[in-house]
Structure formats: structure tokens, C-alpha cells
A and B are shown apart, each in its own frame.
Chain A
Amino acid sequence: MAKRKSTVAQAQPAPPAVPEIPVDQAMMDLSNLSGQIQHTTQSDVSGVAPPAFAANELNQDPQLIQDFLVEAREHLTNVEGRLLEIEQGVHTAETLHSAFRSFHTLKGLAGFLDFAVLQEVAHEVESLLDMARNGNLVLRPATVDVVLQSGDYLGVWLNYIESSANAKPAATPGDHMPLVERIRAAAVPEAAGDPDCESLSNPATEVPVQGPAEGSAAVAEVTSGGRRSESALVKVDTSKLEYLVDMVGELVIAQSMLRHNPEIGGVRSPRLQRDIAHLTRITAEVQKTAMAMRMVPIGQLFRRMTRLVRDLARKSGKQAELELIGEDVQLDRNIVEELADPLVHMLRNSMDHGLEGPDERQAAGKPAAGRVRLKASHQAGLIVIELTDDGRGLNRQKILEKAIERGVVKPDAQLTDSEIYHLIFEPGFSTADKVTDVSGRGVGMDVVRRNINKLRGRIEIVSSSGTGTTFLLKLPLTLAIIDGLVVVVGQDRYIVPIFAVREMFRPAPENLFTVEGRGEMAMVRQKLLPVVRLSRRLGVAAKSEDPCEGLMIVGESDSKTFCLLVDELAGKQEVVIKSLGATFRDVRGIAGGAILGDGRVGLILDLPTLVGGLAHVA
């Protein structure tokens, strides 16, 4: 507890009737009071422990108590910070939610340990803040004061609990009932229009009014308790983190070279074997931890979108509420950063093209406020980010017409719904009749596709006319590691990302064909697939020109299937992707480098550019 050391007691006069009292003065009042309290409580020390502090086996456990104190104090610090932001008018809707969540968590923690007084006070404040964030109560300076005082009161309790646990009971906190009374009094909505009661009018208190409660409630439900407070975190320079990851990678290689050293392998010593196994385990653990340090929850990105939706709604005169689900889902911070742009563009698209205006929505029998849902979840080793709106849906016909008009699609082309929807990612493609300052220039969705491709992700669209559109972004957990096949061509080893590999086979002459003397094809499971000789693509010499002495890898990229001819397979390895740096940015077909098991560099193939020239087959 930093700034406000004052406590609250019975002697507290009626809450300041005139809300214009400057904060400083209020603080002074409180600090005067704390002097009195010190005085009164001093004489109370001899008194018995308050009845609320009923001993049970949980609240006698020193470890539990310690954890509780740490966490509770973090929440109180958070509450204080948030309330001061509210008071100063520099805050967003999240500020109030955050304060609310802290009290909610405090209540839960206190209840778990049977600290009834704490639970009761936290509960009262929670109810008050709940009303405020639902727009049923206008936060006035006096209300903020009461909440702050409650925080201080809980702080005194925490000190008391701590000292009791150390068998040196400090001053008992005063009775909580007068405080509870005042919280309840503050929680009574006052008649609107009272000129004296200048509300802390600002975005936060208005947001709940604009977006009905369910949406905002969902935000709180999902995140409550899931986030750790700032003080438990250390900010680390990313370059240090990258250096650590590099060094750990080198450690793993050094360890593996040691383990496979034939001289060490020749030593018949159970002890040496055990020590090496131990080293291996620890190395693997260190590597895992180093990798996990790059992961951050996606919530921080999601919460930024709350503000965007609000602003866009204002600008376009539409009503919208944003629901956030799965804020705790962790992914690589690089991905989170790269996702910011696509998400902004997609939200703009949903808000501008997807959601209808309130009148149109009501005419269609929908609630006036549109619903936009942003959801993150894990699915089969991927992160799936879902953006759903309940707007008018994509207009299949209009997109097709525009595409034909622009010559992107032939008039007689037979396209699936999904193919048509993906047309909206074409550069400069827009079905908007008028260009607004929000969107309509056909730039945004092109950016979305490019960024998602860069993240090795996929986009899927589900849409139905009149009921809305869902964009699904499927992304890898991390950009740092891929599973790859190590293949050999000529003198060098290359890594083929395994997510693009379907199967492998050794070609036989009867399966190979030449089409009009131009391209080579291979028959795989009754399908003719184009053959890409890696050696020719990369301009290196293969071991043999005869494909039957090599190995075919059936790969898939950009919805094209093809056979990649390599000399041989050297193994499968999970590799850390290293950038080749600014120097090799233009090398086509190479996505990056990776340190192989022997410490040498292998090049990671970039299949989309490598097979980019292929005709569209299968």
C-alpha cells in the first residue's frame, strides 16, 4: 500500500457531502483521522481477536497465509492504481473491470480462508463497482473515496493477519460495519440531474451504458483470476531473451555432441551414463523454459481492441459490443505483435461492412447493438483466433460480380463459397459502394492475408447471409520452432517444414511422366502431381539425375500439391528458426536458417516461393 496509509474507523464523519472536495483535501482529512484511529486502536490491543478471524485449518497454514497476503496486496495495489486513474479521468472501460475483478478475487480468497470480515467488505465494494460498470451508478468522487477507504481498511486487516501469523498481533482493525454502511449508502443510485453531483464523466462510465451488460460481463468472467498482477512480472529486454534462447540452443547441441562422442560412448561406467542422462534432462528442461519465456497471453492485444470497437462504433453511428474470450491463451510475443494489424483491419471490416446500423438491425429483428466476439483457443497444436460478428454476412453474389468485373475470376469459373470469400483478400478488392474513412479502399484485408501468411497461419471464413460472418485465423503457437524433415541435396542439407509434408515415397519409373516435354509429373494415389526437383530450383548439383535414386516428398503449400525431389532423407528434427538477416532477405525459396544437431547451419525451405511458379494443379 503506497500512498494512502490512512485507515477508516467508526469515528469517520459522514462521507463528504460536497463532492467537489479536492482529492488532496480528502487525503488530509483521512490522514487526520488515521491519527485518531491509531489512538483508539492502541487501547484495543488487549482485546480478544475479532470474531471474524475464526481459526480453521486453512488459515493456520503459514504458506497459504503468505500466498494470500502477497496476492491480496497485489490486488489492493491494483485497485488503488485503477481508482486513481478513474479519479483523474485517464482510464478506459477496462480500468473499472480491473478494480472490480480485484475485489471479486479478494472476496474469493478471503472466503476460502474464512476471513469473514474481509469477504463481506470486498463483497459490498464488488456490488458497488458492478453497478458502476453496468451503468446503474455514476461514479462520483465521493464514491471513489469510499472504495479507496475500503481498500485501506482491507490493507489494515492484511497487516493484522500477517502479524497474527507471526504471533505478534498488531492493532486490531476497527469494526467494519460503519464502513459497510457507507459503501451501501454510496451504492444507492442518486437522482439524475443533480447539478452538484458532477459525475466523473468519461469514457469508462459511459461504456456500459452503450454496450449492454452481458458483453462486458463476459469480459470479466473469462479473465477473472487469470491474470497476474504487474508486480509479479519482470520486464526483460527481448534481445537478452533471444540471446538466452540462442545460448540454450548451443547448449543443447554441445550436450548432444558430448553424448554421442564415440570416446565417451566407449566408457563403460554406469555413473557416467547416469550423469549424462541427468545433464540431458536438465538441458531439455532449460530449453523448454527458455522457449516458454517468449509466450505471453493474448489478452493484452484483445483488450486494445475494446477501445477500437468503441471508437469505430462512435464514428459510424452504429452500436456494438465486443466480447472477449480466451484472453489467457498464450502465444509467442512475436505473433501477438504481428497479429495487431490484421486484427485491427478485420475488426474495421466487421464494424464497417459486417454490422448494420441500428435501424437496419431492428428491421431484421436483431438487437440494435451488434455483437462482435473475439475468441482465442487451442486446437490441435494450433492457436485459433475467431472473430465473429452477427451482421449481414458476406454478399457472395456481389463479391463474385466485383471479381469478374476486375478480371480476377473468369465469368464461367465454378468457385466454392470458400474460394469466393477469399477473394476479399485480393489487393484493392472492395465491394463497398463508398469509401469511408474506416474502410472501403480494399487495402485492409490484403494486409490481413499477407500478415497471416507471414505467420505461417491460415484464414478460414464462414458466413451466412443475414446472420453474420466468422473469420478463423489458425496460427502456430510459436514462430521460433518448427518440426522439419532434414533432407540432403548434393552437399547440403535443407529443412522441409513438416506441416507442409503429406507423405514420402521412392519413385518408380512407371509412376513418372513427362508432360509435353515441359514438366515432370508423378502419379501419386491416382493423381498426377507436378515434380519439383529441389536441386534445379536451388541451382545445386544433385547426387544423381535419375529421380528413381532420390526420394519424393509430397508437399502442400498454398493449396497446391506437388512432389519435391530430394537426394535422401537425413532425419527429422525440431529446429529453432534463425533469421538469415537483412543480407539474405531476397533469397527465394529459403525461409531461414536453423542450427542442426552437429552445430552447422541448415537452410529452411520456403515452399510457397519455391513452388510458386507451378501451374495450379489438383
Chain B
Amino acid sequence: MQSASVIDVPAGRQRQGKYLVFQLGKEEFGVRVVKVREIMGLQEITSVPQTQDFVRGVINLRGKVIPVIDLRRKFRLDDLEDTQRTCIVVLQVAHEGGDIMMGVIVDGVSEVLTIQENEIEDTPEFGDDVQMPYILGMAKVKGAVKILLDIDQVLTNNEIRGLGRETAMETEASFDF
């Protein structure tokens, strides 16, 4: 697996660096390039039953089965038809049991941007009920706003573990083996 060879982003809230910019609906988002493993065209996705609605299913990434998340649904944006530009960004997401690979469906990728610290503003307060720990900040580049995501926070450990939601199916403890 080829890793994107970019400078190491130190841990913590250091936010400047290279970002991959992609679109969801009308908004533009950025994820750190070091997190990106590859970008692939949309392919047939096998849906997994009884999972949360933002889970599209699983795909075969060169022999490995990886989950695919619909980021638009995850952020509760309006559903859109898949287009030619729709693609899967394969990301490496930190997980308590080690990093895992995960695909996210986005409406299109545009560029890799180097963003300086002074271009980044803190997330504005939207009120107490809107918790957004997964937003690193807002970058204003050439007049456009890009929302910088901390992808490890977008899918927290609990969520990653619980992509398969508890269902009503019950197992009866049967004594016979």
C-alpha cells in the first residue's frame, strides 16, 4: 500500500498543513492528506444489513474488505444522486485497536491545498446543542470557506465499533450445544 508521502503532522491541535479538499453538496471540506490512502471511483458496494443508515456497506480494496461511509448522510445533509464526480476516498482512521481503513463517499474531490495557521479560524459557537469536536477549524482560502475535519473524531471509537447497530434479533440461550 502506497502511503501519501507528506510531512508528518504532529499530534495535537496543530492545524496547518496539506489538506485534500472535497465537496459534500455545496460545502467544501478538507482532510489531512496524510490520512488519505487513495481515491477511487464509485463501485458497486455490498450493503450490510442492520447497520446505521450512513453505512453504505463494504467494498473489496485489493483483497481487503473495508467499510464505506456515506459522509453526506453522516452529516445529515440532503441526499443527492451519485454522479460522475462521486468517489470514494479511502482514509486511515485511528481506532483503539490500531488504525483501520475506511472509505467515505464524497461528491467530488478538487485539490490538495497547503493551509497556513493564519488562514484557519476556530469553529464558531453554534450553541450548546451543536457538538462538533470533529471540526478542526474553518479555513478561508481565496474567499472560500473550507471546513477542516479531524477524521478520527468524525467516527469515534464508539461509532466505529457500533457501525453494526444492535438489532431486535434476539438469541435465546439454548443449553443444547
Contacts and interface: CB of A to CB of B under 8 A. Distances in A.
Interface of A: 243, 245-247, 249-250, 408-409, 419, 422-423, 425-426, 449, 459, 491-493, 537-540, 558-560, 578-590, 592-593, 595, 599-603, 609, 612-616
Contact of A247 (B48, B63, B161): B63
Given A559-B177, A613-B172, A601 B59 contact: yes
B95 A590 contact: no
A616 B176 contact: yes
Contact of B169 (A246, A580, A589, A592): A589
Contacts of B81: none
Contact of A583 (B44, B163, B174): B163
B174 A616 contact: yes
A492 B46 contact: yes
Given A249-B63, A583-B100, A600-B60, A589 B177 contact: no
B131 interface: no
A586 B160 contact: no
A586 to B, nearest CB: 4
A612 to B, nearest CB: 4
A582 B97 contact: yes
Contact of A426 (B58, B160, B175): B175
Contact of A537 (B60, B169, B176): B169
Contacts of A600: 44, 46, 60
20 contacts: A246-B63, A246-B64, A408-B175, A449-B177, A537-B169, A540-B49, A583-B100, A585-B164, A586-B162, A586-B163, A587-B50, A588-B169, A590-B164, A592-B65, A595-B65, A599-B60, A600-B44, A601-B65, A603-B46, A613-B169
Contact of A581 (B49, B62, B66, B172): B66
B51 interface: yes
B85 interface: no
Interface string B146-177: 00000000000000111111110111101111
B58 A580 contact: yes
Contacts of B160: 582-583
Contact of A558 (B57, B60, B177): B177
A449 B177 CA distance: 9
A21 to B, nearest CB: 53
Interface string B37-55: 0000000101111110000
B120 interface: no
Contacts of B165: 586
Most chain B CB neighbours (cut-off 10 Å) among A449, A559, A580, A616: A580
A584 B164 contact: yes
Contact of B67 (A249, A558, A581, A589): A581
Contacts of A540: 47, 49
Contact of B48 (A249, A425, A580): A580
- Identify the interface centre among B67, B160, B171: most chain A CB within 10 Å of its CB: B171
Contacts of B171: 588, 609, 612-613
Given A583-B67, A584-B48, 20 more contacts: A409-B175, A422-B176, A426-B175, A537-B169, A539-B167, A580-B65, A582-B97, A583-B100, A584-B67, A587-B164, A588-B50, A588-B171, A589-B50, A593-B46, A593-B58, A595-B65, A600-B44, A601-B60, A612-B171, A614-B172
Given A246-B64, A423-B175, A601-B65, A590 B169 contact: no
A476 B47 CA distance: 29
Nearest to A458: B177
Nearest to A422: B177
A404 B170 CA distance: 25
Contact of B176 (A539, A558, A593): A558
Contacts of A601: 46, 57-60, 65
Contacts of A449: 177
A584 B163 contact: yes
B139 interface: no
B48 A603 contact: yes
Contacts of B48: 580, 584, 587, 590, 603
Nearest to A246: B63
Contacts of A419: 176
Contacts of B62: 246-247, 250
Contacts of A558: 174, 176-177
B102 interface: yes
Contacts of B44: 600
A583 B177 contact: no
Q: Which 6 pairs of residues, A with B, have the shortest CB-CB distance? A: A246-B63, A587-B164, A612-B171, A538-B49, A593-B65, A586-B164
B50 A583 contact: no
B51 A587 contact: yes
Contacts of A603: 46, 48-49, 58
A558 B169 CA distance: 17
Contacts of A246: 62-64
Given A586-B164, A612-B172, A539 B49 contact: yes
Contact of A585 (B47, B63, B66, B161): B161
Contacts of B174: 558, 560, 612, 616
Given A581-B67, A585-B164, A559 B46 contact: no
Interface in B87-131: 95, 97, 100, 102
Interface in B13-41: none
A609 B165 CA distance: 15
B51 to A, nearest CB: 7
A174 to B, nearest CB: 60
A90 B100 CA distance: 42
A592 B167 CA distance: 17
Contacts of B177: 422, 425, 449, 459, 558-559
A578 B64 contact: yes
Contacts of B60: 595, 599-601
B161 A587 contact: no
Contacts of A250: 62-63
Given A422-B177, A492-B47, A590-B48, A582 B65 contact: no
B92 to A, nearest CB: 13
Contacts of A426: 175
A559 B47 CA distance: 30
A259 B60 CA distance: 20
